[in-house]
Structure 1
Amino acid sequence: MKQRIKKRFLIVVSSILFITIYFIFQLIRGESLEDEQPIVNVFTARHYQIDNEIFKEFTNRTGIQVKEVKGTAEELIERMKQEGKDSSADLFIAVDGGVLNFAKQSGVLQPITSDTLLRNVPKGWRDKDNNWVGIATRSRVIVYAKERVNPNELTTYEDLTNSQWKGKVLVRSSSSLYNKSLLASFIELSGEKEAEKWAEGIVRNLSRNPEGGDKAQAMAIATGVGDVAIMNTYYIGQMSASSDSEEREIVSKLGVLFPNQETTGAHMNISGIGLARHSPNKENAIKLAEFLTSREGQTMLTQGSYEFPVNIEAEMPEILRTWGDFKQQSINIEILGDFHKKATEIFERVGWE
C-alpha cells in the first residue's frame, strides 16, 4: 500500500516538474523569438492615428516591428542627448522645419544615405546634409465665412490687419508652434519691424482672446464669433471627412484662401523624419523611412491626415486636389527655428496671448 502511494506521489511530482519545465522553456523560447524579431524604434512627436496605421502596414510587409516612444520634440531630443550611444532611438519624427533643424544642431541625427529616399523627397523638403527629410507639408492659410466675407477683399496675410476686419479675426495662442513659425517666416521675408507691425494689427482686430486649436477657430466662425481665421489646411481636410456631421456642416460654409499669391506666397511647414545618430537598427530605420516617403506610404498618409504629400506620385484626397497649385513662400524652412525666440518676444510686446 505504501509503495503504491509513494509511486503515485512520484508520478504527480514528476508530472508537475515536467509541466513546469515545459512552460519555462516555452517562456524562454518566446522571449528569445521576440528578441530575434527585427524592430525599429521610433521617437515621435506626432500623434496622428494614420501614423500607427502606416506602421502596421510596414510591419505586415516587412516583418519589422515598429515600437513608438512618444513625447514633445524637446523631450525626445533631450533624452537622445542624455542617452548618447546607449539610446534606443532609430528614427526621430517631428513637426516644423525649425524643430528638425534643432535636432540636427543638437547632434542627435546622422545623414540618411538612401538613394530611394532622396528620389522620393524633393530637394526643397530635405536638409542640405540629409540629416532629415520631410514626410508631409501643410500651409497656414486664411479661412473665412462664405456668407459674410468677399474673398476679393482679402488676399494677403497683411489684409487681416486692415480696419475692416476689426473684431472679426480668430487665431490660436502665441504659444502655438504654428504661429511662431508663421511669424518667423515674416521676420525672414520682411524683417522684424514689419513682422511686429503685422502681429500688432492682428491683436488689434481679434474678435476674442486666442483660445483653442485650429478646429476651434473654424467652429467660432460657424457660430458668428468671428468672420476670418488663420488655420492649417489639414484641419479643413479632416473636418470635411469627419464622422461628426456638425464638423462637415461647418466646413461646407467655409472658404479657404491661400494668401499672398501675387507677392511672397503662402506659408508652408513640414512634418519630417531624421535618422538617429546612434541608431541600433539603422537598416530597418532606413527601410521605414523609405516606406513613409514611398508612393504607397505617402498616399496612406495624405488620405488619413490631409497633409500635402512630399512625394508627387502620391494620390491626394479630392479636397486637396480642388485647391490646385498655389504659390508658396520661397524661404529655407530650416531657419524658422532661428527666429522662434524673436517671434515669442514680438508676441509678448504686442500682447498676443
Structure 2
Amino acid sequence: MKRALLAIALSSAALPVLADEVNIYSHRQPELIQPLLDAFTAETGITTNVAFVDKGMAERLQAEGDRSPADVVLTVDIARLKQIVDAGVVQPVQSDVLEANIPAAFRDADDQWFGLTARARIVYASKDRVADGEVTSYEDLANPKWKGKICSRSGTNDYNVALLSAYIAHHGAEAAKTWAEGVKANLAKKPEGGDRDQVKSIWAGECDIAIGNTYYMGQMLKDPEQKAWADSVRIVFPVFDGGGSHMNISGVAMTKSAPNKEAALKLIEWLSSDAAQKIYAETNNEFPVKPGVPASELVQSWGSFTPDAIPLTEVSGHRAEALKIMEEINFDG
C-alpha cells in the first residue's frame, strides 16, 4: 500500500494519517525527491507518503481544510510558494535549525516557507553557431540580431513568468513589456514543450539559443537519448544590467492542518541538513542553499556566476503583472 502511495498522481487521491509518518503533497516529480525521502526514512524511521499534485495545490488544500491529511508541501518556484501562503493553507515554523541552515534570502520573513535548493535561469547556446561573449545579459535576448534564433517554452510557464517578474523588479513594467515583445519577435517558432525540448531544437538546428534552468543539463547528460542535445550546447549565465543571474528555488512549507506536525518538522529540518543538501546536489544537479555544502562536480564545471541580489519575495510580488504582460503580448501566439 505504501509503495502504491508513492506513485499517486491523481489530485483526488487521499493520503493516510498514521503515526510516525509524514504525508506530502508535492509539485516535484516523485523520482526527483524519492532518494531524499528514502534517506530520511533510513535515518529517522519515519515513513513518508507522497501524492504528486501537478496543479491546483492551494485550491486542494483550501477545499480539504482542517480535514487535509497533508503535513508538508514540496514545490518548485517562488511564485507557487507565495500562492500557498496567500491562500492561507500553511503555517509558520519557528526553528533554530532552519534559521542556521538556510540563509535569510532563501526563506520567508514570516517563516511560512523555506527554500531547499536553488537553480539559475540561464541561456543554452549552440556551441557551433554562437560565439563566446555573444550573449551576456538577459537584455541581449531582445536584440534583433537574434531574430528567428531563440527557442522558449510557454511565456506563461512559472519559470519564464518569474524571469519576467525579476525584469520588472530591475527595470519596471514598461521596460519589461518592451523586452518581452522583443524576445517574442526573436522566436524561431511557437513556444512549446519544456526546457529540454528547447535544447533539442538547438541540436536540430531550429534555433541557436534557448532559455532554461541549469539542472536540466544534468538530466539530459544522464539520458542516452538526450546526451547529444546537451553536448550541442554550452551554459551561459546571463545577468541583468546592474544585477546578477536570475535565481529561483524549490521549497517546503508545513500545512495549516498538519496532523503529524512533529514528524513534519523533523522532515523539513532534515531537508536543510548537510546530508539532504548533498543528495539534492548530486542527484538533481541543483545548487544547495545551505552555506558550505558544495555543488556537484558537474555543476561546478559549468562555471561560476553572480546570483541576482534582488530578494525572491520582491520578485514574486511582480508575478501578476508579469503574467498579464505575457498574456497581453500573446507571447505564445
Common fold by TM > 0.5: yes
Q: Does residue 230 of structure 2 align to residue 248 of structure 1?
A: no
Structure 2: 5+ residue runs without aligned partners? 1-15
- 8 Å CA contact retained: 2:118, 2:288: yes
Cα deviation for residue 37 of structure 1 reads 4.5
Q: Secondary structure at the match of 1:186?
A: helix
Distance in 1 (CA, whole Å) between partners of 2:308 and 2:184 is: 23
Distance in 2 (CA, whole Å) between partners of 1:330 and 1:228 is: 25
Q: Secondary structure at the match of 1:60?
A: helix
Cα deviation for residue 351 of structure 1 reads 2.7
Q: Secondary structure at the match of 1:206?
A: coil
Q: Does residue 287 of structure 2 align to residue 308 of structure 1?
A: yes
Select which of 45, 53, 63 maps to 1:63.
45
Cα deviation for residue 273 of structure 1 reads 0.3
Letter in 1 for 2:42: N
Q: Does residue 75 of structure 2 align to residue 94 of structure 1?
A: yes
Cα deviation for residue 261 of structure 1 reads 6.8
Select which of 247, 263, 268 maps to 1:268.
247
Return 47-56 or 118-127, whichever deviates more: 47-56
Distance in 2 (CA, whole Å) between partners of 1:172 and 1:197 is: 19
Distance in 1 (CA, whole Å) between partners of 2:18 and 2:180 is: 55
Identical pairs, percent = 36
- 8 Å CA contact retained: 2:165, 2:322: yes
Instruction: Describe how 1:16-165 pairs up with structure 2 within 5 A.
Output: 37-72=19-54, 75-165=56-146
- 8 Å CA contact retained: 1:133, 1:273: yes
Instruction: Describe how 1:174-253 pairs up with structure 2 within 5 A.
Output: 174-240=155-221, 242-244=222-224, 246-253=225-232
Cα deviation for residue 338 of structure 1 reads 3.1
Q: Deviations over 1:130-153 (max 9, x none)?
A: 111001111111110111111312
Per the normalisation by structure 2, the TM-score is 0.90
Select which of 329, 332, 344 maps to 2:311.
332
- 8 Å CA contact retained: 1:184, 1:343: yes
Distance in 2 (CA, whole Å) between partners of 1:127 and 1:345 is: 25
Distance in 1 (CA, whole Å) between partners of 2:219 and 2:52 is: 22
| Distance change (3 Å), C-alpha of 1:345 and 1:261 | closer
Q: Secondary structure at the match of 1:153?
A: coil
Distance in 2 (CA, whole Å) between partners of 1:121 and 1:344 is: 29
Q: Deviations over 1:114-167 (max 9, x none)?
A: 211221111110000111100111111111011111131211111121121111
Q: Deviations over 1:195-224 (max 9, x none)?
A: 011111111111111111100111110111
Q: Deviations over 1:9-29 (max 9, x none)?
A: xxxxxxxxxxxxxxxxxxxxx
- 8 Å CA contact retained: 1:102, 1:337: no
Size of the aligned set, in residue pairs, is 317
Structure 1: 5+ residue runs without aligned partners? 1-33
Q: Secondary structure at the match of 2:244?
A: coil
Per the normalisation by structure 1, the TM-score is 0.85
Q: Deviations over 1:280-337 (max 9, x none)?
A: 1111001111111111111111211111111133342212112343112222212434
Q: Secondary structure at the match of 1:129?
A: coil
Greater fraction of residues in helix? 1
Return 107-116 or 178-187, whichever deviates more: 107-116
Distance in 2 (CA, whole Å) between partners of 1:351 and 1:233 is: 26
Q: Secondary structure at the match of 1:94?
A: strand
Letter in 2 for 1:274: A
Q: Secondary structure at the match of 1:199?
A: helix
Letter in 1 for 2:119: R
Q: Secondary structure at the match of 1:151?
A: coil
Q: Deviations over 1:11-56 (max 9, x none)?
A: xxxxxxxxxxxxxxxxxxxxxxx98641111111111413112111
Distance in 2 (CA, whole Å) between partners of 1:196 and 1:137 is: 26
Distance in 2 (CA, whole Å) between partners of 1:275 and 1:337 is: 20
- 8 Å CA contact retained: 1:217, 1:229: yes
Q: Which residue of 2 aligns with 1:22?
A: none
Distance in 2 (CA, whole Å) between partners of 1:78 and 1:162 is: 40
Cα deviation for residue 252 of structure 1 reads 2.1
Q: Secondary structure at the match of 1:272?
A: strand
Aligned Cα RMSD in Å?
1.8
- Segments of 4+ moved more than 6 angstroms: none
Cα deviation for residue 229 of structure 1 reads 0.6
